[in-house]
Amino acid sequence: MLDWKLYSPEDPESRLWDVVVVGAGMGGSVLGWSLARQNLSVLFLERGLPVNPFSAAPRLGYLNKKLTVLRGDRSVELDPYLGNGPGGSTLMYGAALERFRREDFKETDYEGLQPAPMPSDWPIAYDDFIPYYQAAEELFRVCGTADPRDPDDNSPMRRPPPLSERDQHLFDAFEAAGLAPYRLHVGIDYKPGCAECLGILCPRDCKSDAMSRVLKPALVDHHANLLSGFEVESLEETEGQIKAVVGKLGAHQLRIRGRIIVLAAGALQTPVILRNSISERYPRGIGNDFDLVGRGLMFHISEMFALWPTRKLPSIGSARAISSRALNVVDGRKIGGIQSMVATVHPFHVSTVAKEVIERKLPFKIPFLRLPLTAAAVLSASFIRRAALFSTLVEDFPYHDNRVVPDQQAPSGFSIVYVNSKELDARASTMRKLVKSRLAPHRVLFLPLGDNLNYGHPSGTCRFGKEPDRSVLSPENQVHGVANLYVVDSSFFPSSAGINPSLTIAANALRVADIIAQRNHHPPAAA
Amino acid sequence: MKQFRTVVVTGAGTGIGRALCVGFTFDDYVVVGLGRTAATLEETKEVCKNELFSYLVADVADSTAVAAALAQIAAELGPIDVLVCNAAVYPRVYFLDQPADEWTRAVTINVCGVANCCRAVLPSMLERNAGRIIIVGSFADISPLPGTTAYSASKGALHPLARALSTEIDRQRYPNVLINEFNPGATQTAMSESGHEPAAVYPWLKNIVDLPSGGTTGRIFLCDREFRPDEGRKAKLKRYLLQRIGWQ
């Protein structure tokens, strides 16, 4: 295990770092690694503490405090599927490393939707981005097979382990349904005994996460430093430059200086830091001249469903296996993708769904309904366990009113406002109908889990774009008007594409690191 | 006037080993610590009482080195009365990810190291009919966690090692030579983030040192008392009554 104390700077305030990276998640770690390799002095500032994979299960959740989400008429508090600590959310992710498609970079035709979503085109050429996708895929050891519907899919992928009989049967079912399946692109080595650690930290250097593939090498091989347990609160700006990063290490306030500052605290926290950074030039927060910081928040809609094979088949084998993007665009409308989930269907989940369906249909309440339903579910457990679990990913459009706002009353320091638009619910409904109809006669059971928003995939809150009045960042991910400030977490996404964000965050971080390196040919000696 | 004078603690540079050395010196025992790293042993010396602690650098897995070290201690300070076999390693790594020689080394330190130390002190203890051997163990073998095969296997091996060794000592002839296993439970050291403070461990181990001649031998002590999982209520009552009337 890494001796973290070795890489913690003795006196972080005394040094003028070349690059200060706020947040050691996917974006921050990849960028910091790339620049450390190019001999710039890099300091990572990470709010969470290092997680030991052999200790108690790493805590899910944001600062161990709940997120406050205003969902229209009601307010919800929840623990999101987001990580905390060196490696960020990649510590827990399922390592699905999928590319956005060429059409996802283009402007979406909103067909006269009212209210209109925000512009969603990407201000960079897809062809220029492909080499960065390839580099990220090699770095994170992606395995899988090419998507037959994606002519651009030239990923240098490793061969995945063979499918179980049941999953091969389901793969063939997807094929027959015209869903053009392929092996999901995952960053997993599949060492003997691999458990496809979804939701937990891999203790075997088998799942490729930001810690193992970039952060650790940055610290051990390329002289980067990491200050953990440090919460960044704001940035100090004067004359169009960030002079320092201000935050708390325990009870002490520290002021860290860097020539270049890169924010990568996540699409929820980065805009809060910007909004809380008030200066003479930026009375409403750095980069917030046009009230765009924090707006355009996107999650995906993710709905789980169980899919039964038509006969009982052995299901021992890799579970995170099948992906389909054939429903990306249907009749001109953006719908989304389907991918395997690890874990089997649990009888209690089925009984909960049955209870909700029954209660919705009947005009009266049946007392103790849960009891017989649970009994029935337990009795049919072996049947339930034959099913494979999948998740849909439906793209949500960026709306001006869906946003993150600083909120001193909230436990996490900010609130989220997100209301599902009607068109989003309609497209999610279309996805469900398509899945059921296409995969017939295979039995499909959607398993609603309260909220269908995927809180693990926030994006869009500091979008990049060419025009300063319609974006927070330039196409180089630099905050418009602030020469030495960049943002490389998923805040920069103009659209969410209904695709797992990690690979795009990583590829873009490599791209932005190259830009920063080019703009800074001769870093002066550390002050 | 206490019965024993000289104590040897292995793995004295850190964690429980260090806490035990501190505890013993403050109870005025002469303590010699064994370890592999002089720097940490020096740090232990600084926190112990006065000049009562000294150390030797030796690897318990090396039987020749251990024999030489313990002979040197006996020659310079007098016979060793109490031996605490505490030195152990706890690699956290999945079995298939660990090189073969590392697995073997861990088991060698944790099991053979204990045997090497016992072998070096036992003859003198038997000659004088005076001695306590305390083997620091663990119940990791009962419900081991993933990534602990070498550690759990080695700790499981210590239960029969202590028991079997104690059966070889005739209780009629050598009633004051007692060999027991001591399990401190989870303790906050390099091995575990959770559990009690290392300082809490010394008083419990001291109970075993203070066992009277003819006292308990070949058993496991968990924290402050003897561990008897298989004992039903009737047996517990019988044992209590016998204890009250002084029958061991």
What ipTM, to 2 d.p.? 0.73
Q: Has residue B155 been placed in a domain?
A: yes
**Measured torsion, CA atoms of residues A340, A344, A348, A353, in degrees rounded to the nearest 10:** 20
Q: Has residue B80 been placed in a domain?
A: yes
Could you confirm whether B151 is annotated as catalytic? yes
**Measured torsion, CA atoms of residues A446, A114, A290, A483, in degrees rounded to the nearest 10:** 50
Q: Cβ contact (<8 Å) for B92 and A192?
A: no
Q: Which residue of A lies nearest to B194 if distances are taken between CA atoms?
A: A55
Contacting residues of B for A59, CB less than 8 Å apart: none
- Full pLDDT tens readout for chain A, 527 residues: 788 999 999 999 999 999 999 999 999 999 999 999 999 999 999 999 887 777 755 555 555 668 889 988 888 888 888 888 999 999 889 999 999 999 999 998 888 888 899 989 999 999 999 999 999 999 999 999 999 999 999 888 999 999 989 999 999 999 999 999 999 999 999 998 888 887 778 888 899 999 999 999 999 999 999 999 999 999 999 999 999 999 999 999 999 999 999 999 999 999 999 999 999 999 999 999 999 999 999 999 999 999 999 888 888 777 888 999 999 989 888 999 999 987 667 777 788 888 877 887 788 878 888 888 888 887 888 788 888 999 999 999 999 999 999 998 887 889 999 999 999 999 999 999 999 999 988 999 998 877 789 999 999 999 999 999 999 999 999 999 999 999 999 999 999 998 999 999 999 999 999 999 999 855 544 43
* Residue whose token pair is 């960030």: A242
Nearest CA to B105 out of B36, B38, B46, B31 is that of: B36
* Length of chain A (residues): 527
The DSSP call for residue A421 is -
Exposure class string for B132-146: b at 16+ Cβ within 10 A, else e: bbbbbbbbbbeebee
Chain B contact present for A205, CB below 8 A: yes
Report the SS3 class of residue A345: coil
- Non-local (6+) Cβ contacts of B51 within 8 A are none
Q: Locate A471 and state its tokens.
A: 């974006």
Number of structural domains, chain B?
Answer: 1
Question: Which residue among B94, B193, B194 places its CB closest to the CB of A203?
Answer: B94
Of the candidate CATH numbers 3.40.50.11030, 3.40.50.80, 3.40.50.300, 3.50.50.60, the domain formed by A4-159+185-299+398-420+457-519 belongs to 3.50.50.60
Q: Has residue B136 been placed in a domain?
A: yes
Domain spans of chain A? 4-159+185-299+398-420+457-519
Q: Cβ contact (<8 Å) for A203 and B147?
A: yes
Contacting residues of A for B147, CB less than 8 Å apart: 54, 203
Identify the CATH number of the domain in which residue B126 sits.
Answer: 3.40.50.720
Q: Locate A227 and state its tokens.
A: 């200050």
Q: How far apart are CA B56 and CA B120, in angstroms?
A: 15
Q: Has residue B222 been placed in a domain?
A: yes
Q: How far apart are CA A161 and CA A145, in angstroms?
A: 11
Contacting residues of A for B94, CB less than 8 Å apart: 193, 203-204
Q: Has residue B225 been placed in a domain?
A: yes
